[in-house]
Structure 1
């Protein structure tokens, strides 16, 4: 029971820190008006959501069939996020 609680707390902390980083990147975009920062910020958002998606689904649903599919969906979010970030950097 303590492990699941710790896992949930760490997932929420990760989500909050990712949201704070997204806000900081957006504020820097407003200053410099560089479109690549928006693409990089989108990739960062998808990456953070992909990191905590499985944990949040497990907290809400428990160990069900849906939690196994959440692993696949989380990986797709992470791949899309890294792809957006690479596209933003290459541009």
Structure 2
């Protein structure tokens, strides 16, 4: 496998991750509608942020070949992942 094939596989897996994250958010939102507990809603916000952060750098590489944008999107992606994890941890600690 050359580098281009690996990058294509990585981009396809990012899209699959985005769809699976959306499915998981939908399932948890249905649970929220049943129990109406604000903690689940905060957890969903954190999960959304986490999924966007995980897939952001790969989706930017799909949309633009600019190396500068791809490098900064990787840094921004890590920051968003950390924020998403913090929001999810807050919702769990909140109970």
TM-score, scaled relative to structure 1? 0.94
Number of equivalent positions? 91
Provide, for residues 45-81 of structure 1, a one-character-per-residue CA deviation record: whole Å limited to 9, x for no partner: 0001100100001111125201111011101110110
1:27 paired with 2:35, answer no
SS in structure 2 opposite 1:38? helix
Which residue number in structure 1 is paired with residue 9 of structure 2? Answer: 6
Q: What value does the CA root-mean-square deviation take over the aligned residues?
A: 1.0
TM-score, scaled relative to structure 2? 0.91
Alignment of 1:5-84 (within 5 A): 5-84=8-87
Show structure 1 runs of 4+ deviating over 4 A: none
Which residue number in structure 2 is paired with residue 87 of structure 1? Answer: 90
Structure 2 unaligned runs (5+)? none
> Displacement of 1:4 after TM fit?
2.3
